[in-house]
Structure 1
């Protein structure tokens, strides 16, 4: 890439901190500093142009991208910290840079109107929130019927701040038999870091501290709202 290529001007850096855990498998063998797109991204002109646009927006916002996208077509993306509506925007820009279609959960009523198709195009996976306790099965079914699915879930469950992490992200991955993708949105260093794949063992109490360790130094846009409690819903 030449000097005029906007992608080449996005700043990348390799983190010196490497947390070790037996259950973490970093998919990319090269150092986590190149920001390579998804292996299955293809080479369409539209996705290439969109990648350039996202690279320019990330650079204008002062953001760095750290890490290669893993070789996995279906993952639950752990999106944290989540303290602001801006988090979703920057995650979408990062997904565009990686040439990945990012999906997110939304209430069913969001797509039950004439603009529903557009909302789905934006990445919404509709969930019937009246069916209490069944959203995990709904998301697992979505994984079963999809060839590729990257589902972003904020473990806090809210941007308002919470003393505990919800376990929904973990239960969805476990039920769907897909790995978690550890992704850190750090406003302190203005870095969006793709840390690697984590395969849930089924022991939430044991796995949660290992997952949380990757967010230990991260700062949300509103720092006071980001919780690092080790507890969570069963």
Structure 2
């Protein structure tokens, strides 16, 4: 029933959900570009449309009363971005102990313009040895979903080139705020 309702709502607002099924029971999913609060309800509708049991990483300050229970029920995983907490190690352990676990991360880390992506999604996919799903909400074509799965090589330049090519035609809600697909160089 949730699937039918989500399909109806997506059609009503003129959007189409697409999903190439994951190649296995575990994955990291990169959601890009993320420039609007509208990305979240589109993601929830996508999740409901396919009955896809995907969790998503969000800043821990969102997980406060009165929204905490709802966000956890929707699959939220609180992440403390203010300090180093060993998030990658914790998530690798969760992948190892789970029979099935899919975690979606918006690597821009904000809806504002950034000159680089946070590397957590990349390091987690490599460390857990799971494929990376390429998720998006394309406001030009009004499509939301996951169309491709890749196994990262660990060669940052090659992997970033692959991501840049895939996302080159995806339009954000506010294109001026879409972050650069690059990693920060210290």
TM-score (norm 2): 0.87
CA-atom RMSD in angstroms: 2.2
Secondary structure of the corresponding residue to residue 85 of structure 1: coil
Say whether 1:70 aligns with 2:13: no
1:56 matched to which residue of 2? 8
Measure how far apart 1:154 and its partner are. Answer: 1.0
Measure how far apart 1:162 and its partner are. Answer: 1.0
Cα distance in 1 for partners of 2:97, 2:68 equals 20
**How has the CA–CA distance of structure 1 residues 128 and 168 changed in structure 2, closer, same or farther, with 3 Å as cutoff?**
same
For the 8 Å contact 2:16–2:143, the answer to whether it is kept is: yes
Higher RCO by CA contacts (8 Å cutoff, separation 6 or greater):
2
The unaligned stretches of length 5 or more in structure 2 are none
Measure how far apart 1:206 and its partner are. Answer: 1.7
Measure how far apart 1:109 and its partner are. Answer: 6.0
Q: In the TM superposition, what whole-angstrom CA distance separates every residue of 1:17-70 from its partner, at most 9, and x where no partner exists?
A: xxxxxxxxxxxxxxxxxxxxxxxxxxxxxxxx1100110111111111234323
1:175 matched to which residue of 2? 127
2:42 to 69, 81, 90: 90
Cα distance in 2 for partners of 1:108, 1:116 equals 10
**How has the CA–CA distance of structure 1 residues 125 and 210 changed in structure 2, closer, same or farther, with 3 Å as cutoff?**
same
1:106 matched to which residue of 2? 58
For the 8 Å contact 1:170–1:204, the answer to whether it is kept is: no
Cα distance in 2 for partners of 1:211, 1:56 equals 31
**How has the CA–CA distance of structure 1 residues 129 and 156 changed in structure 2, closer, same or farther, with 3 Å as cutoff?**
closer
For the 8 Å contact 1:127–1:138, the answer to whether it is kept is: no
> Highest Rg: 1 or 2?
1
Say whether 1:213 aligns with 2:165: yes
The unaligned stretches of length 5 or more in structure 1 are 1-48
